[in-house]
C-alpha cells in the first residue's frame, strides 16, 4: 500500500502537553480501529505550528476520511514516492 505524508496546520502544536498529545493519539487510534486495515498510522512529527504524519493507506480518500472522522486538519497530503537516507549514498 502507498505511504503518505500529511501536513496538519495546528497552531501551537509544539506547546501541546503530553496529556493533550495522549488524547489526540487516542482519538486517532479509535478512528483507525473503526476504519479497518486499509489505513495505518506509523508516526508523527510535531513542530511549532504543524504536525507531519506518516500513514500507510490504500488511498488519499482514506486519509481524508480519517481526518474528517477524527476532527483533524489535513491541509496537505502527498504520496511518498521513495525514501532516501545516508545509506543511499553507498549504493
Residue 90 lies in a domain: no
Question: Which residues span the domain enclosing 30?
Answer: 3-83
Residue 91 lies in a domain: no
Q: How many domains does the chain have?
A: 1
Render pLDDT for 3-56 as a digit per residue (tens, 0 to 9). 999 999 999 999 999 999 999 999 999 999 999 999 999 999 999 999 999 999
Check: CB of residue 70 under 8 Å from CB of residue 10.
no
Residue 28 lies in a domain: yes
Residue 71 lies in a domain: yes
pTM comes to 0.92
- Compute the residue count for the chain: 91
Residue 78 lies in a domain: yes
DSSP code at position 18: H
CATH number at residue 55: 3.30.70.3090
Residue 60 lies in a domain: yes
Amino acid at each position: 500500500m502507498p505511504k503518505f505524508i500529511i501536513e496538519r496546520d495546528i497552531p501551537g502544536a509544539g506547546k501541546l502537553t503530553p496529556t493533550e498529545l495522549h488524547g489526540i493519539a487516542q482519538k486517532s487510534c479509535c478512528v483507525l480501529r473503526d476504519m479497518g486495515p486499509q489505513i495505518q498510522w506509523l508516526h508523527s512529527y510535531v513542530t511549532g505550528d504543524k504536525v507531519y504524519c506518516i500513514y500507510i493507506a490504500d488511498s488519499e480518500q482514506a486519509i481524508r476520511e480519517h481526518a474528517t472522522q477524527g476532527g483533524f486538519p489535513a491541509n496537505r497530503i502527498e504520496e511518498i514516492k521513495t525514501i532516501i537516507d545516508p545509506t543511499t549514498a553507498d549504493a
